[in-house]
Structure 1
Amino acid sequence: MNYKEHNAPGTWDIPEGGLRLQVYLARCGVASRRGAEQLIQEGRVTLNHTLVTTMGVKVVPGDIVMVDGKEVYPEERRHYLVLHKPAGYLCSARDPYHRPLVGDLIPSSITERLFTIGRLDFRSSGLLILTNDGPFAAKVGHPSAEIEKEYYVESTVPIPEVLLEQFPQGIDIEGVTYTCRAIEKLGKKALRIVLIEGKNREIRRVFSFFHLHPRVLRRIRIGPVLLGDLTEGKTRPLTPEEIEALRDVAGKRGKAPH
């Protein structure tokens, strides 16, 4: 994993009593808050040259924080991108099998490390939001925000009505309940599905339960942000209005823990 190195600390606001280490790492663009927690648990983070492996440690001005032996600072530049992820790309920082990564599609002019808010599986395509703003990612990506994700799905065979009837009510699969907020039939083999929970491979698991296979699974909306006609593999900046709208929706639903 590559980290952006700086010659001097960036300007950052710190609350009274310090800032939690995982939040500080997120503001450095090292990883999302949850990813930063994993780095700490893996023993890859030191504070003032002392290894930290548990949560709850706080950073105050003047502290030295290092990841994999490199000092990190909060980044000055914030990036907020929309990416049209093609099928066949991984939402990961690395892959032992050398498959294409979402990071390969980020414009070369952006030197800061970006991470995704939520994921799409290897075979799925569509809208991803990438940023190096850890607090923004934590707020928008937290389950309590209940931000809608809308998908266009095509099946290889006609879709039975029972799926449309049961999915909004909740389908129990191996002890996990999968529920959609909205579902609409667009043709014999096509659906529009709106989710809010974002459980792992939710649509694929529901389709498999009904012995179906998605030929196309494309995310077309996250909250107020639309994929639109953005070409596969291309990015565009989120507009200030979209950023504010995402913050507003997430703020109304709930708050991520600090």
Structure 2
Amino acid sequence: MQLEKILQSQGFGSRKQCRQLIENGNIAIYGEVYSNPKADIEVNKLEFIVAGKSWQYREKVYIALHKPIGFECSHQPQHHSSVFSLLPAQLIERGIQCVGRLDQDTTGLLLLTDDGTFLQGLTHPKKHVAKRYIVTTNRPIIDEQITQLKQGVALRNEQGIYAADDCMQLGENQLVLTIHQGLYHQVKRMIAAVGNHVDALHRDQIGQFKLPDDLTEGQWIYLSDEQVNQARQLV
């Protein structure tokens, strides 16, 4: 692939901007500075340096972000900062999107990608991809509420009954809840339906992928090929 096309595909700007980066001597591959925008480069396992920073060629990107509180999952946030402000400009230029959303007051695992097929597969209701949440409630949790959540509750303006795939109490005011749907404010509405209220909500798992213990709030990582393949098996 031509070098200028490689840079453009990786989010370094328009073809013209990428050409200028190359002609100005800002691109190096395996220690060699390239000045020819039309140079034909093998992209398999390609690593390159742009203005002193190392990058790896990725046909598509798959990212796990530990979302902090106070961030909206939108490119055009209304009342808070955007989660995309936590990412490099190159990823935003590639058109990366959130795989589902978390409310601004919800923390935890958020996946992002520029692979439209992957995104649609994980978010399609028929795929039943499990999502696990740690829920902190305002009032003590009682056994009857756990039973109701497992059996299913009715939600206002929704058809049918919505049950937790799994529900287990962790403490007096805390439980772990797994659902596979993705209704608006679903966990909060389910907890309200059994007579309680959510004070804090944290998602720690999607499918088989768990939020890494060492990934602190605001940090992100690229998913490994193995992790991407595991996620693909869900869709």
Q: Same fold (TM over 0.5)?
A: yes
- Alpha-carbon distance between aligned partners in 1 of 2:112 and 2:139, rounded to the nearest angstrom: 34
- Alpha-carbon distance between aligned partners in 2 of 1:175 and 1:77, rounded to the nearest angstrom: 41
Which residue is 1:218 aligned to?
A: 202
Tell me if 1:90 matches 2:79. Answer: no
SS in 1 for 2:88: coil
- Alpha-carbon distance between aligned partners in 1 of 2:189 and 2:78, rounded to the nearest angstrom: 25
SS in 2 for 1:186: strand
Which deviations, in whole Å up to 9, do the C-alpha atoms of 1:150-176 show, x marking residues without a partner?
111111221122221011211012253
In structure 1, give the amino acid aligned to 2:181.
E
- Alpha-carbon distance between aligned partners in 2 of 1:170 and 1:212, rounded to the nearest angstrom: 15
- Alpha-carbon distance between aligned partners in 1 of 2:151 and 2:192, rounded to the nearest angstrom: 17
In structure 2, give the amino acid aligned to 1:240.
D
Gaps of 5+ in 1: 9-75, 251-258
Sequence identity percentage: 30
**Which TM-score applies when normalising by structure 1?**
0.65
- Alpha-carbon distance between aligned partners in 1 of 2:141 and 2:228, rounded to the nearest angstrom: 36
Which residue is 2:216 aligned to?
A: 231
- Alpha-carbon distance between aligned partners in 1 of 2:155 and 2:62, rounded to the nearest angstrom: 36
1:134-173 correspondence runs (5 A) = 134-173=116-155
Residue of 88, 102, 117 corresponding to 1:107: 88
1:19-58 correspondence runs (5 A) = none
C-alpha deviation, 1:228, in angstroms: 2.3
- Alpha-carbon distance between aligned partners in 1 of 2:144 and 2:231, rounded to the nearest angstrom: 34
Which deviations, in whole Å up to 9, do the C-alpha atoms of 1:69-122 show, x marking residues without a partner?
xxxxxxx8411000011111101110244x211111113453422101111111
**Residues paired across the two proteins, number:** 179
In structure 1, give the amino acid aligned to 2:234.
V
In structure 2, give the amino acid aligned to 1:244.
N
**Which TM-score applies when normalising by structure 2?**
0.71
Structure (1 or 2) with the greater strand fraction? 2
What is the RMSD of the two structures over their aligned residues, measured on CA atoms? Answer: 1.9
1:186-201 correspondence runs (5 A) = 186-201=170-185
